[in-house]
Amino acid sequence: MTQPAKTDLITVNIDGREIAVPKGTNMIEAARMLGIDIPHYCYHPKLSVSGNCRMCLIEMGTPAFDRATRAPIMDPATGKQQIAWVPKPQIACFTNASPGLHVRTDTPLIRECREGVTEFLLVNHPLDCPICDQAGECKLQEQATQHGRGYSRFVEEKNVKPKRTAIGPRVTLDAERCVLCSRCIRFCKEVAKDDVLGFTDRGSFTTISCYPGRELDNNYSLNTVDICPVGALTSTDFRFQMRVWFLKQTNSIDTESSVGANTVVWSREGVIYRITPRRNDEVNDTWMADSGRLLYKQVRAENRLTVARIAGQVAAEAEAIKAAADLLKAGDAVIVASGRSTVEEQFLAKRLSELVKAPVSLVARIAQGDKLLVSADRNPNVRGALVTKLIAQLPKPQLTELGAQIDADHVRTILSLGEDLAEAGLTPAQLAKVKIVYLGTHANATSDAAQVVIPALTVFEKDGTFINQQFRVQKFAAAVPGPAGVSGDLSALAQLIAAAGGITPPATVDAIWALLAAEVPALAGLSYRTLPETGRVIDHAEWAALPFPEGETLHYTPHRSA
Amino acid sequence: MPHPLERRVLFRHVDEPGYTPDLDCYLRNGGYETLKKAVTRAPADLIEEVKKSGLRGRGGAGFPTGVKWSLVDRKSGKPIYLIVNCDESEPGTFKDRYLVHQDPHQLIEGIMITCFANNVKQAYIYIRGEFPHGARILEKAIAEARAKNFVGPNILGTGYSCEIYVHRGAGAYICGEETGLIESIEGKRPYPRIKPPFFPAVLGLYQCPTIVNNVETLCHVRHIVEMGGEAYAKVGTPNNSGTRLIGVSGLVQRPGYYEIESGKITLGQLLHDICGGPLPGRTFKAIIPGGSSAKILRWGETFKIKQKDGSTVEWSVADIPMDFDSFAACGTMGGSGGVIVMDDSVSMVEALANVIAFYAHESCGQCTPCREGSQWIKKITARMVHGEARTEDAPLLKNIADQICGRTVCPMGESSAWPTQSYVAKFNDEFVNYEQIKKTRPAGAPKLI
């Protein structure tokens, strides 16, 4: 084991308070550690520094030395080294910690600087906050309130620029609202590696635009909306849908791949309006893919399953579960589990499989990874199935072996935990030969062919955990309630176990975690409640040798055994 | 014929009958002899000569050239570039174009000596897009010099090689700012870089150590090496050595380009003796001493100047010696040597509107104060001239300028702030009462905007 390099700490003084910060820390971050807010627009912790908004101006001083002798100049009154203050204000975002650096963030000069920059940003701003989607989460609005002079001295005509321009399939630009911070340009160039945005025209008429013949259409385009400090770039999907201050935020996890980008689900009165990334410096920084943001639409999709059915007839959930248990108890059952299920569901599926002696298959979803935040493994939780011992080997995309067993009449019942068996390679003839129990969220060829259908909950309607490609256990919470009468996957599995003659397991995430911590060595000491919002990486030496399909992503390097 | 108060060194052959910009003419007049001697000397010696000469950069800031060269990072192992700033875009400045148009080989010889002294293998002449003819002249001159082995591989058999490339700008004032210029050569929008850390001497062109010198500065280098640094230092006045090219424009009898010994003549001598004084029946009102971004001088104001011996003298505007330090002591700058003269027929509000229209148009738009502030000042002054002027406009203009000054990425913030601050402060009555003044302006008075 190599020891992490000892971090060089440098002590700086901000507003009279000293703090030791790692080398390379800029003064916005150092001040933040002290709880001091230095307002800014263009600075973003995950992008290069451009220093153009001039909002983060501070007074800066360094320890004074005699020019000739280089000896420190001491202050006789305090006995400390004098500070030579730079006459001009400096930008905090590009002022990095140096030994003895002194910074003042709250002086008459700095207050005047902030007031000045705020006024300048507002003179050509359309001030259309009442109809602007950014209102309520707009840095210009917040900082104008905090640092602005409160009245306008501008009596001239404002500049006119293009409005509601579709610069890509998902992003709309209002150039008049833009403060030209260049965050979106830097994001596309530095993170999305798609250098498609740039400035055209000059001075006050400068405008963001796409390169001729191109569109902002990469799968990370909506991050520009997130980092836009004003309402210049808005999400075409979210535009004019809801005032942000009415929305409830729920921490969630992006399910589109094994990266497990941390997200926030924004909802009001049971309806989800948007999904945005949540900062996790070890997983997704502050980004997420566009493709993960529209997944909430599955909640209200037309093919959503909301009622239990037996042989096509609507039935009470309890009856459907009893019918399903009868089929499983009859023997020759197979469980097709899912890498989309939560760790808790996989744990109960494992119990069920042991109880009814049903072998377990899992369906792999492999596609091209983008080396950023969508990995090749499009299941969010294959590692969970390994950790809970639901499976021992990595899954395959097609259920070829299961098909052969059906053909050989070794299988009578299949319990599918949300997987479409037809998509996984079983033919209509094979599906017709067996009795199918389908526990899932949406209708498909499998649910159509199923003897028993039990509706389930989407990731937005339940609590749970996933284990991502780094073997990081990450939790998410229900943002909105599920359809009326649907008790959920955990409850259904627990009832199935009971109906099949087992001991009734708990059906809450908390209680299952007590069992997980006791029974799964890798999860010992963890609980759902105390799991940090940024997740926890567990010991995964046991699975290190498996040939996981993922290539490199933002914070993941594949482990290759020699 | 040059005026007796002039001393022509760089301009020796400018406008000389029969003198042509080709190489043969230059060689007939002793051209490239200095280079031939220079390449036999140790490069460090040449740098030392320039240091001894006390030469200060002629682009506007007046930074000592020898010091600039010695700041170059020579330990990084990266190539060192020389960039010749021929973006001469400061309004009122028109000296470099005559050096380029009429004596290009003088510049090329200065460039080659500088390159040899600093171990530069590639030099770029960044010439503004508005000088297409100058660019063609330079390209032809470089080809001629290359054919004679003054430029290119194995120069004069020394084993030292150096190429010069002409890079044409596309018409942006900001490309005269050295880091904006560097971005432009790199093919990007010319947004000036943040200093620190992007000092050209360390992280310049392609993140390599880079020297950026003005055309006039490099022509001086040729003469410094010819005369010797100490001899050159005796021209002009201490700390302001050498000659200066001055471009006088505006309302004087004989506007034009002149070369004077730095500090040896006063602004009054320049305007009255060399330029023939104000137009008939007019009196001087205001002088911009060093390009339109310099703070204006009001004809009639006086300055109390502390001498080295502790005594104080009082200068009128006419008494100010033509050098960097004297103009700095009077709160303005010698800048690029572009002297703009205004007489009593000029409205200062209109003059400011004119100057600011330029800076608002040329603001690159990178940082907020310059981008929005200059445009706002432009809108206010344009309204004052073409619409209704308000008494509260004067303090507002001053305050906007104060909000720009010292808070921008590059010195262009000052370019719009300094004129605004100085015009409003020194001609405050005119700004406050402009609505009245407009009604009494005689018909036919020159409108500057």
Q: Does the pLDDT of residue B134 top 50, yes or no? A: yes
Digit-coded pLDDT (tens) for B397-412: 999 999 999 999 999 9
Interface test with A, best of B407, B414, B416 (most A CBs within 10 A): B407
Cα separation, B249 vs A388, in Å, equals 86
Q: How far is CA A210 from CA A172, A180, B61, B271, B364, in A?
A: 12, 14, 38, 52, 19
Percentage of chain A beyond pLDDT 90 is: 95
Q: Which amino acid is at A373?
A: L
pLDDT of residue B307: 87
Distance from B382 to chain A by nearest Cα, in Å?
Answer: 10
Average pLDDT, chain A: 95
Q: Of A116, A124, A201, which is closest to B369 when you measure between CB atoms? A: A116
Q: Strands of B297-298's sheet, edge to edge?
A: B256-261, B243-250, B338-343, B284-288, B297-298
**Token duo for residue B125:** 């002449």
Q: Does the pLDDT of residue B449 top 90, yes or no? A: no
Average pLDDT, chain B: 95
Pick the closest to residue A473 from A438, A431, A520 (CA basis).
A520
Cα separation, A169 vs A94, in Å, equals 35
Q: Does the pLDDT of residue A189 top 60, yes or no? A: yes
Q: Does the pLDDT of residue A322 top 90, yes or no? A: yes
pLDDT of residue B440: 84
Contact across the interface for B376 and A202, Cβ inside 8 Å: no
pLDDT of residue A288: 97
Nearest CA in chain A to B400: A116
Pick the closest to residue A336 from A414, A226, A448 (CA basis).
A414
Cα separation, A157 vs A123, in Å, equals 9
Digit-coded pLDDT (tens) for A238-280: 999 999 999 999 999 999 999 999 999 999 999 999 999 999 9
Q: Which amino acid is at A437?
A: V
B332 touches B298 (CB < 8 A)? no
pLDDT of residue B441: 77
Q: Which amino acid is at A49?
A: V
Nearest CA in chain A to B405: A88
Output the DSSP codes for B309-344: TS-EEEEEGGG-BSSHHHHHHTTS--TTSEEEEEET
Q: How far is CA B199 from CA A205, A249, B71, B72, B408, in A?
A: 29, 46, 10, 10, 16
- Which residues, 6+ apart, have CB-to-CB distance to A208 below 8 Å? A167, A173, A175, A178, A180, A184, A185, A197, A198, A199, A232, A233
Instruction: Give A201's contacts in chain B (Cβ within 8 Å).
Output: 365
Contact across the interface for A54 and B363, Cβ inside 8 Å: no
Digit-coded pLDDT (tens) for B39-51: 999 999 999 999 9
pLDDT of residue A562: 41
Phi, psi of A106 (to 5 degrees): -140, 75
* A149: helix, strand or coil: coil
Percentage of chain B beyond pLDDT 90 is: 94
Instruction: Give A57's contacts in chain B (Cβ within 8 Å).
Output: 407
**Token duo for residue A214:** 């191109």
- Per mean pLDDT, which range of A69-73, A495-499, B8-12, B294-298 is the poorest? A69-73
pLDDT of residue A5: 54
Q: Of B364, B367, B380, which is closest to A54 when you measure between CB atoms? A: B367
Radius of gyration of the CA atoms of chain B, in A: 22
State the average pLDDT over residues A211-224: 97
Reported ipTM exceeds the 0.90 cut = yes
pLDDT of residue A6: 59
* Start-to-end CA span in chain A (Å): 17
State the average pLDDT over residues A462-484: 97
**Token duo for residue B441:** 């302006």
State the average pLDDT over residues A492-509: 95
* A451: helix, strand or coil: coil
Enumerate residues 69 to 98 of chain A having a beta carbon within 8 A of any beta carbon in chain B.
Answer: 87-89, 91, 94
Digit-coded pLDDT (tens) for A29-82: 999 999 999 999 999 999 999 999 999 999 999 999 988 888 999 988 888 899
- Asked whether the bond before B196 is cis by omega within 30 degrees of 0, the reply is yes
Phi, psi of A320 (to 5 degrees): -60, -40
Q: Of B365, B372, B383, which is closest to A120 when you measure between CB atoms? A: B372
A61 and B CB contact within 8 Å:
no
Digit-coded pLDDT (tens) for B159-169: 999 999 999 99
Cα separation, B86 vs A410, in Å, equals 87
Phi, psi of A134 (to 5 degrees): -75, -20
pLDDT of residue B444: 65
pLDDT of residue A77: 87
Task: Indicate the pTM of the whole model.
Answer: 0.94
Contact across the interface for A52 and B380, Cβ inside 8 Å: no
Q: Of B172, B362, B368, which is closest to A121 when you measure between CB atoms? A: B368
DSSP label at residue A461: G
Contact across the interface for A53 and B367, Cβ inside 8 Å: yes
A418 touches A456 (CB < 8 A)? yes
pLDDT of residue B1: 80
Contact across the interface for B361 and A51, Cβ inside 8 Å: no
Contact across the interface for B403 and A119, Cβ inside 8 Å: yes
pLDDT of residue B196: 86
Q: Does the pLDDT of residue B443 top 90, yes or no? A: no
Contact across the interface for A203 and B172, Cβ inside 8 Å: no
Radius of gyration of the CA atoms of chain A, in A: 28
Q: Of A51, A88, A179, which is closest to B406 when you measure between CB atoms? A: A88
State the average pLDDT over residues B78-102: 96
Chain A with chain B: Cβ pairs closer than 8 A: 95
Enumerate residues 126 to 165 of chain A having a beta carbon within 8 A of any beta carbon in chain B.
Answer: 153-154, 156-157, 159
Q: Does the pLDDT of residue B356 top 60, yes or no? A: yes
Distance from A278 to chain B by nearest Cα, in Å?
Answer: 29
Pick the closest to residue B67 from B47, B44, B84, B45 (CA basis).
B47
Output the DSSP codes for A407-424: HTT--SEEEESS--TTTT
Instruction: Give A161's contacts in chain B (Cβ within 8 Å).
Output: none
A201 and B CB contact within 8 Å:
yes
